[in-house]
């Protein structure tokens, strides 16, 4: 092989390797930004709105959204440099909304320490105010049924008796689980993340004899009754012309063989709906079949994150709209990859 030709091939190969190194460097730069970069996204103060003022007024959206976000950023920066002024009057306004209970601290000895004559009350003043918390208290609620008799009607020779309707227990009749007790169990479990075994200790402390097995059975039966409510809310949600949809991963402890499970969330929009509804649906996967199962024959528009499962080929009757935040991320990645 000619020496000059060999040199030319090596130079060409060197150029290709340099190009490959630049591509890999850009990829590493993007991955570092995704893994170690900021997760929150705030608009720059020079960022313009995608919509004109007239379009924002039609959508009933504040045209100065970006300026408000910039003001929030400036406030955060000022907090670092200067001590934030504590707002006054908020605690007093809150205390005024509560039920007022007066505690009067009187003298033990109402005679003068010098002359020993009886003291005369001339007034009192409020020294300080505080929030009081009532301790949990068990009580028995007796449901009586009023019964009436019609003096004029005598069907088949007997008396006509009319009785008032009595609501039945929502879960287990003739059990410890009234609506208020069950609400406390569900709130503590799913809002405060208190395990059922700790709740059993709490209820035992206040004198209510229920254990974890009773509470678990009650929660399962309640969820079965609420399933019809969930289905009806989903039907109302899918009547809207525009909805939001997204899948959120989370870890289920019992499903050890699966790395992630998913909550598929659908909700109405503020602009196109009179009723704000959010529907959560559990799935063990993020496959395309979830969308078909949830939306069915929906023919409106879905605002989503651009996940390829939202396919116009699979669901041609649906119009897909991409979230502007997710669109913006692609431009941000392009800017970060530039030299």
List the single range of 39-43, 161-165, 182-186 with lowest mean pLDDT.
Answer: 39-43
Structure tokens at 38: 């900021």
Is the pLDDT reported for residue 143 higher than 80?
yes
Domain count, the chain: 2
| 250 and 215 together in one domain | no
| 247 and 198 together in one domain | no
**Where in the sequence is the domain holding 324, given as residue range(s)?**
238-339
| 272 and 314 together in one domain | yes
CA distance 244 to 303: 5
| 271 and 314 together in one domain | yes
| 253 and 291 together in one domain | yes
Which range, 45-49, 59-63, 223-227, 333-337, has the best average confidence (pLDDT)?
Answer: 223-227
Mean pLDDT for 30-41 is 74
From residue 62, how far is each of 41, 55, 57, 121 by CA, in Å? 19, 10, 7, 59
Which of 207, 227, 247 delimits the end of a domain?
Answer: 227
Which distant-in-sequence residues (6+ apart) come within 8 Å of 329 by Cβ?
Answer: 41
| 194 and 266 together in one domain | no
Inside any domain, residue 179: yes
The string over 17-26, giving b where at least 16 C-beta atoms fall within 10 Å of a residue's C-beta and e elsewhere, is: eeeeeeeeee
User: What does pTM read for this prediction?
Assistant: 0.57
Inside any domain, residue 132: no
Residue at token pair 């909700």: 267
| 319 and 272 together in one domain | yes
| 214 and 277 together in one domain | no
| 252 and 303 together in one domain | yes
pLDDT given for residue 160 in this prediction: 86
Inside any domain, residue 135: no
Q: How confident is the model at residue 261 (pLDDT cuts 50, 70, 90)?
A: confident
pLDDT given for residue 78 in this prediction: 53
Inside any domain, residue 330: yes
Inside any domain, residue 282: yes
Mean pLDDT for 171-176 is 80
| 181 and 268 together in one domain | no
| 298 and 270 together in one domain | yes
pLDDT given for residue 271 in this prediction: 86
- Of residues 144 and 306, more confidence is placed in 144
User: Which tens digits make up the pLDDT trace of 63-80?
Assistant: 454 444 444 444 455 555
Report helix, strand and coil shares of the chain as percent, to nearest 5.
40, 10, 45
Phi/psi for 266 (5° steps) reads -125, 140
């Amino acid at each position: 092989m000619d020496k000059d030709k060999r040199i030319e091939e090596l130079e060409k190969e060197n150029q290709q390797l340099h190009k490959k190194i630049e591509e890999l460097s850009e990829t590493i730069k993007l991955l570092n930004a995704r893994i170690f970069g900021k997760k929150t996204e705030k608009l720059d103060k020079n960022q313009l709105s995608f919509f004109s003022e007239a379009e924002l007024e039609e959508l009933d959206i504040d045209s100065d959204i970006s300026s408000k976000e910039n003001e929030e950023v400036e406030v955060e920066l000022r907090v670092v440099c200067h001590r934030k002024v504590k707002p006054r009057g908020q605690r007093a306004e809150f205390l005024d909304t509560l039920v007022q209970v007066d505690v009067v601290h009187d003298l033990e000895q109402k005679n003068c320490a010098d002359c020993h004559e009886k003291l005369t009350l001339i007034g009192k003043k409020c020294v300080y105010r505080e929030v009081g918390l009532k301790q949990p208290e068990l009580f028995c609620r007796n449901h009586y049924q009023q019964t009436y008799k019609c003096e004029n009607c005598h069907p088949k020779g007997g008396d006509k008796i009319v009785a008032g309707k009595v609501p039945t227990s929502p879960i287990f009749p003739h059990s410890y689980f009234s609506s208020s007790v069950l609400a406390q169990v569900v709130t503590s479990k799913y809002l405060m993340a208190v395990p059922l075994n700790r709740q059993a200790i709490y209820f035992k402390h206040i004198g209510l004899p229920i254990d974890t097995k009773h509470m678990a059975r009650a929660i399962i039966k309640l969820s079965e009754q609420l399933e019809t409510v969930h289905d009806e809310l989903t039907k109302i949600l899918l009547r809207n012309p525009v909805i939001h949809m997204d899948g959120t991963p989370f870890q289920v402890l019992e499903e050890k063989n699966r790395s992630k499970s998913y909550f598929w969330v659908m909700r109405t929009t503020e602009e196109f709906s009179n009723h704000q509804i959010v529907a959560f649906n559990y799935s063990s996967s993020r496959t395309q079949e979830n969308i078909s199962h949830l939306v069915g024959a929906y023919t409106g528009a879905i605002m989503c994150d651009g996940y390829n499962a939202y396919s116009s080929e699979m669901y041609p009757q649906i119009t897909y709209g991409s979230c502007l935040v997710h669109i913006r991320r692609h431009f941000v990645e392009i800017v970060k990859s530039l030299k």
